[in-house]
């Protein structure tokens, strides 16, 4: 395949971090029709990197290893391109990372399942427990660790598909998943998820991008402004499993109904914050399951504004509390404590065991279908 010179230059920068500071090491636009080797082979399939662009300043690179967003470049308030997603330079680095979910498509069931157990149609299922006594993000080998089939038909869109066989990670049913990534005309990155099954099975798909709107390696996210369209959240126990109820955010550190800096209350003496080491909680979106605005984040240095739209009922806000600087990112810096946030559109954690939560059970003959978009602008 013929690869344009400037594509090669961009990929060299990704692979070798360009030996630049985080401010200098920003990805530029590339030809999205080119696919490039990103990590050799895994499970007998080529691991590649794909580039999407909307032609208006937004460029995303995505790998079919785990359906991961590797980088997402948007202009800041001065028009300078900034890579706002944390990632690695190769598939091997993703596999070796102490944090396995960077940028990944998460499934079959995102978030936690209490003690790795649930019952469905009179049968008990046990899933590998990889988060203390609980299952997190699909078990031992979730969708972040598989190589997806890829098809790119335009500069702005990529389709990834994966067949999850009956019994994979002990979940019932053959599940066929399709995820479409689109660089949209309104300067967004959109995720459209579809899935079908031949047996009743739980499904809760999301993307686990880690964001720093000042740029990868730009330091703490505690000074980012965050607003979440949620009057309630789901309190958790000490293992971060929801208690099965919804609680008002008013007069608590979880009240982001008006914009607050992320770090302004994160160290308060609050039991819920102590359980999560900070924020690692699901917010009950006011809009319910209608498509609408879930959250708005603003980078304090870059002036980049990210609005999240979704038809999902929940948003998991994770504030980087377990980051320990153990991994070197594509810009060459470490993933230090609270230097990124994840905002995952989703159904509620442990929904498969919580009858009061919206159901995540997919029936044969039905289509799981959900959409989320991360839209970027700058402060006016």
Which of 137, 208, 224, 347 is catalytic? The answer is 208
CA 232 from centroid of its chain's CA atoms:
22
pLDDT tens sequence across 88-122: 999 999 999 999 999 999 999 999 999 999 999 99
Q: How far apart are CA 19 and CA 10, in angstroms?
A: 13
User: Across the strands, what pairs with 154?
Assistant: 157
pLDDT tens sequence across 185-218: 999 999 999 999 999 999 999 999 999 999 999 9
DSSP state of 272: H
DSSP state of 287: T
DSSP state of 363: P
- Position 6 pLDDT exceeds 80: no
Provide the token pair at 94: 């993703």
pLDDT tens sequence across 134-192: 999 999 999 999 999 999 989 999 999 999 999 999 999 999 999 999 999 999 999 99
pLDDT (0 to 100) of residue 380: 87
Which of 168, 216, 344, 373 is catalytic? The answer is 344
Coil, strand or helix at 205: coil
Task: Give the pLDDT band of residue 312 (cuts 50, 70, 90).
Answer: very high
- Position 26 pLDDT exceeds 90: no
Q: How far apart are CA 377 and CA 354, in angstroms?
A: 38
Q: How far apart are CA 339 and CA 210, in angstroms?
A: 9
Beta-carbon count within 10 A of 340 CB: 27
- Position 131 pLDDT exceeds 90: yes
- Is 344 marked active-site? yes
DSSP state of 352: G
pLDDT (0 to 100) of residue 348: 98
The whole-number average pLDDT for the span 249-257 is 98
Provide the token pair at 51: 């580039």
Q: Angle CA(189)–CA(192)–CA(195) in degrees, nearest 5?
A: 155
User: Across the strands, what pairs with 242?
Assistant: 236
Contact 283, 230 (CB under 8 A): yes
Q: How far apart are CA 211 and CA 28, in angstroms?
A: 18
Of the candidate ranges 43-47, 250-254, 367-371, 375-379, the one whose mean pLDDT is the lowest: 43-47
Task: Give the pLDDT band of residue 31 (cuts 50, 70, 90).
Answer: very low
- Is 208 marked active-site? yes
Coil, strand or helix at 329: coil
Global pTM? 0.91
Residue in the structure block whose two tokens are 């498969």: 352
Q: How far apart are CA 223 and CA 303, in angstroms?
A: 12
pLDDT (0 to 100) of residue 7: 35
Percent of the chain with pLDDT over 70: 90
């Amino acid at each position: 395949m013929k690869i344009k010179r400037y594509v090669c230059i961009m990929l060299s920068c990704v692979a070798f971090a360009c030996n630049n500071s985080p401010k200098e090491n920003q990805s530029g636009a590339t030809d999205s029709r080119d696919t490039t080797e990103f990590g050799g082979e895994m499970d007998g399939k080529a691991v590649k990197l794909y580039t999407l662009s909307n032609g208006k300043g937004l460029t995303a690179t995505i790998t079919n290893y785990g359906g991961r967003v590797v980088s997402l470049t948007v202009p800041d308030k001065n028009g300078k391109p900034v890579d706002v997603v944390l990632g690695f330079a190769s598939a091997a680095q993703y596999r070796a990372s102490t944090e396995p979910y960077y940028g990944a498509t998460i499934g079959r069931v995102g978030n936690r399942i209490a003690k790795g157990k649930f019952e469905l149609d009179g049968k008990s299922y046990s899933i590998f427990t990889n988060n203390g006594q609980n299952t997190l993000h699909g078990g031992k080998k979730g969708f972040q660790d598989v190589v997806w089939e890829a098809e790119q038909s335009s500069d702005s869109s990529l389709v990834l598909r994966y067949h999850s066989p009956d019994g994979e990670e002990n979940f019932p049913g053959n599940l066929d998943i399709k995820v479409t990534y689109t660089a949209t005309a309104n300067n967004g990155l959109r995720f459209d998820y579809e899935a079908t099954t031949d047996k009743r099975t739980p499904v809760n798909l999301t993307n686990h991008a880690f964001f720093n709107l000042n740029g990868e390696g730009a330091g703490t996210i505690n000074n980012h402004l965050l607003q979440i369209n949620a009057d309630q959240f789901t309190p958790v126990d000490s293992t971060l499993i929801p208690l099965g109820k919804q609680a008002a955010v008013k007069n608590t550190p979880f009240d982001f109904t008006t914009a607050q800096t992320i770090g302004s209350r994160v160290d308060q003496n609050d039991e819920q914050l102590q359980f999560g080491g900070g924020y690692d909680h699901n917010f009950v979106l006011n809009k319910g399951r209608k498509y609408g605005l879930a959250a708005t984040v603003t980078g304090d240095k870059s002036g980049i504004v990210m609005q999240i739209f979704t038809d999902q009922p929940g948003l998991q806000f994770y504030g980087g509390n377990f980051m320990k600087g153990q991994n070197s990112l594509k810009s060459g810096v470490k993933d230090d404590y609270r230097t990124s946030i994840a905002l995952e559109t989703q159904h509620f954690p442990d929904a498969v065991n919580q009858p009061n939560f919206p159901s995540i059970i997919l029936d044969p003959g039905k289509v799981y279908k959900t959409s989320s978009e991360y839209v970027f602008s700058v402060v006016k």
